[in-house]
Amino acid sequence: MAPALVWLAALMVVPCALVLALAFFRRGIYGGIDYTFTLENFGLVFDPLYAGIFLKSARIAGTATLIAVVIGYGAAYAIAAAPRRWQPVFLFFAVLPFWSNYLIRTYAWIVLLNREGLITQLLRWFGYTGEPPSMLYTEGAVIAGLVYNYLPFVILACYAPLSRLNSELAEASRDLGASAATTFRRVILPLTVPGIAAGAVFVFVLSIGNFVTPALLGGGRFQMIGNLVYDQFLTANDWPFGAALAMALIAIMLLVLMAQAMAANRASGQTAETRDGANG
């Protein structure tokens, strides 16, 4: 037990503490680090230029999360409605792409979306003769890539509560005169909120700090927070500012995780109320 904890302390806790400390120093004149205390790196995070990139990252991650949750919930619902013996098979194949290389899954979208890619070919085949549409190197391409890469996890997270759902509950709701839509909104959806929240948090957290997808599908000058951090460390050589950006990223992540914990608590409270109400 001890060797593993030492490993984690030495190669995760200490380096992360170091980055936190780095964020309070000044950048040296010729790159490098000038060890005088300052808060200006954190001030710079709120500079309109960089705050704008944070907002754009949050918007892209939020859109990807919304789309992934809608598709993923639908897929999980359909899997949970399938015959019992088929459910594990469907689930396995829904998750399988998640375990193949991330770079390769992203590259597959370059093949689909580039100007002479499969989608352009299909359009031509249907008689389209105009200029090939520019789909690659757009915000839409980045969102598509993020949804594609993280969808399996949403399916997995939403399937768990959906499969445990008691079908008698929905029947009872319908017997009492509720429409299918009301039953879904008032019975099924509240009971599956924890799964949705877990899936949404996962997609949002991994999307907002993503570096590879914007770099490959967004084109050279497309920047999200991850790319900004990358630049500070590998090209601009301003490590203290890069460290402050990384800490801001961690702060956002912790906020989202706390919101999820609260949503899950509220949902379980409501479920208990519904149950007690039904029994009493």
Residues 43-62 touching another protein, rule: CB under 8 A, are: none
196 belongs to the binding site for another protein (CB under 8 A): no
Nearer to another protein by C-beta: 124 or 186? Answer: 124
Cβ of 279: how many Cβ atoms within 10 Å?
6
Buried b (16+ CB within 10 A) or exposed e, 183-202: beeebbeebbbbbbbbbbbb
135 belongs to the binding site for another protein (CB under 8 A): no
CB of 277 to another protein, least distance (A): 29
Residues whose CB is less than 8 angstroms from the CB of residue 241 and which lie 6 or more positions away in sequence, other chains included: 27, 41, 44, 232
8 belongs to the binding site for another protein (CB under 8 A): yes
Site for another protein in 93-122 (CB under 8 A): 93-97, 99-105, 107-112, 114, 116-118, 121
CB of 278 to another protein, least distance (A): 26
212 belongs to the binding site for another protein (CB under 8 A): yes
Give the strand pairing for 33-34 and 26-27: antiparallel
For another protein, the binding residue among 69, 230, 241, 260 (CB under 8 A) is 230
Q: In the stretch 149-188, what mask flags binding to another protein with x, by CB under 8 A?
A: --xx--xx---x----------------------------
90 belongs to the binding site for another protein (CB under 8 A): yes
Match 């995780």 to its residue by tokens: 257
For another protein, the binding residue among 233, 236, 237, 263 (CB under 8 A) is 233
Long-range contacts of 85-92 (CB under 8 A, 24+ apart): 87/163, 91/155, 91/156, 91/159
Buried b (16+ CB within 10 A) or exposed e, 120-145: beeeeeeeeeeeeeebbbbeebbbbb
Residues whose CB is less than 8 angstroms from the CB of residue 168 and which lie 6 or more positions away in sequence, other chains included: none
- Return d(Cα 187, Cα 189) in angstroms, integer: 6
For another protein, the binding residue among 31, 43, 88, 133 (CB under 8 A) is 88
243 belongs to the binding site for another protein (CB under 8 A): yes
- Return d(Cα 116, Cα 113) in angstroms, integer: 8
CB of 9 to another protein, least distance (A): 8
Nearest Cα residue to 195 out of 20, 34, 56, 75? 75
Nearer to another protein by C-beta: 56 or 274? Answer: 56
3 belongs to the binding site for another protein (CB under 8 A): yes
For another protein, the binding residue among 170, 172, 211, 271 (CB under 8 A) is 211
Nearer to another protein by C-beta: 215 or 267? Answer: 215
Match 């090939």 to its residue by tokens: 132
Total residue count of the chain as it appears in this document: 280
For another protein, the binding residue among 44, 67, 71, 263 (CB under 8 A) is 71
CB of 226 to another protein, least distance (A): 5
